[in-house]
A = this chain, B = another copy of it.
């Protein structure tokens, strides 16, 4: 269950630099490629001639050429030409609005007429030279909403990520959740705690003492359709925490774009944006490697959870206070999906 009238991250720009990419998003099989002047384009991954997979073809002078019989497809889904054929009567295939921005390729899998670039989620850090970003992509066999739950309740860090970012004090600190329109925020603040290994490493990465107590924070933001940005960081204790001077803290944004593939599988674009010591590429690589391990731990837990839910579909799950972030985010999703039902769109 996912809204289709929304901008989702489809792929990383370098996934389509050399050749087209076939990827299923929101149950749509889509061929992504770079068209004229390198602009990204996306059409159904289905050649109107004989149903070949267009993404197995090549790009020639900005057009997607089917790798079976050379049909030339335009980025609007209309066949441009085919050797020896008149193509005016060929059926049109769907094309998908697509935008390359902020270091990602975004696609709108729903009604193209409603696709407004202004609706694209704004990412300040992606446009600022004071920030840097690195991340990766995992395919996960679970409903993307299980990942929403996961990321909007970081209590799990204590148990799932015991050797990196987990610590007992997470459990012991109250969590606060609120909803502002379609924006859900869950926050947790820990004062005067020892930093766990991941944060010790980041403190050292910013040339700060790592063996002293810190104030730690986690502020999770859910934005539709399923983008989750988590402000995280630690500051030397008693210096203002979240608001402390940059000289005594390390802070960053955990970036999670959750893109449904099918009802029970998803593409997980994960990474971290940071604004300290941004030119240290070794530090960047170290953070990315650490995150890769952390998110692989989540993947194992969520895929097992998905199998359990498929085996016992009738069981009700609990909704505790710690689950409020996921619950409220799912309500936003439910509302968006309901608004896309035919009778709603006609109204």
Chain A contact residues (Cβ within 8 angstroms of B): what range?
35 or more
B70 lies within 8 A of A171 (CB) = yes
The 3 closest A-B CB pairs, nearest first, are A83-B171, A53-B304, A51-B308
**Which residues of B lie under 8 Å from residue A83 when comparing CB positions?**
155, 158, 171-172
* Residues of chain A in range 76-93 having any CB-CB distance to chain B below 8 Å: 82-85, 90-91
Question: Does A17 make an interface contact (CB < 8 A)?
Answer: no
Knowing A83-B171, A153-B69, A171-B84, say if A49 contacts B160 (CB, 8 Å). no
Question: Does A50 make an interface contact (CB < 8 A)?
Answer: yes
Question: Does A64 make an interface contact (CB < 8 A)?
Answer: no
One digit per residue, 1 when the CB lies within 8 angstroms of any chain B CB and 0 when it does not, for chain A 51-76 equals 11100110000000111111000000
Knowing A153-B69, A155-B69, say if A308 contacts B85 (CB, 8 Å). no
Interface centre among A48, A50, A70 (most CB of B within 10 A): A50
Question: Does A149 make an interface contact (CB < 8 A)?
Answer: yes
* Residues of chain A in range 303-322 having any CB-CB distance to chain B below 8 Å: 304-305, 307-309, 311-312, 315-318, 320-322
**Which residues of B lie under 8 Å from residue A52 when comparing CB positions?**
301, 304-305, 308
**Which residues of B lie under 8 Å from residue A256 when comparing CB positions?**
none
Residue of B nearest to A52 (CB): B305
B51 lies within 8 A of A312 (CB) = yes
B321 lies within 8 A of A29 (CB) = no
B51 lies within 8 A of A317 (CB) = yes
CB < 8 Å: which of B46, B149, B159, B311 contacts A50?
A: B149
**Which residues of B lie under 8 Å from residue A158 when comparing CB positions?**
70, 83
Complexed CA–CA distance, A308 and B311 (Å): 27
B70 lies within 8 A of A155 (CB) = yes
Complexed CA–CA distance, A53 and B184 (Å): 28
Knowing A83-B155, A159-B65, say if A300 contacts B56 (CB, 8 Å). yes
Residue of B nearest to A66 (CB): B159
Residue of B nearest to A58 (CB): B159
A/B interface sample: 19 pairs, CB < 8 A: A45-B308, A46-B312, A48-B318, A49-B320, A50-B318, A51-B309, A51-B312, A51-B315, A51-B317, A52-B301, A56-B300, A67-B159, A68-B160, A68-B301, A70-B159, A83-B171, A84-B174, A84-B322, A85-B321
